[in-house]
């Protein structure tokens, strides 16, 4: 899945499920949109659905550094690339 398709999916999730209004790719999720740890857990579940596999504990821990939508996209690309045979 290329980054444009991935970006569209993430933006759709953030606007429909988390009620973000006009999210910017470099917005701080917490400061600009009130994103909290419960939201982060829910988003990780949705990321697993996009990827088609469950994340390991280590992969979930790496998500703790996510602050922006671009961070989310980078995170998914790294995880997906690391799982390719």
Q: What is the pLDDT of residues 36-73, one digit of tens each?
A: 999 999 999 999 999 999 999 999 999 999 999 999 99
Is it the case that residue 11 has pLDDT exceeding 80? yes
Average pLDDT over residues 18-29: 96
3-83 is classed in which CATH architecture?
Orthogonal Bundle (1.10)
- The structural domains of the chain, with segments of one domain joined by +, span 3-83
Alpha-carbon distance values, 50 to 9, 34, 77 (Å): 8, 23, 11
pTM of the model: 0.92
pLDDT band per the 50, 70, 90 thresholds, residue 1: confident
């Amino acid at each position: 899945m290329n980054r444009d398709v991935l970006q569209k999916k993430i933006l759709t999730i953030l606007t429909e499920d988390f009620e973000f209004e006009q999210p910017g790719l470099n917005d701080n999720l917490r400061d600009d949109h009130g994103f909290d740890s419960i939201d982060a857990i829910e988003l990780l579940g949705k990321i697993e659905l996009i990827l088609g596999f469950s994340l390991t504990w280590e992969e979930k821990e790496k998500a703790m550094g996510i602050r922006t939508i671009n961070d989310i996209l980078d995170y998914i690309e790294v995880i997906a690339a690391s799982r390719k045979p």
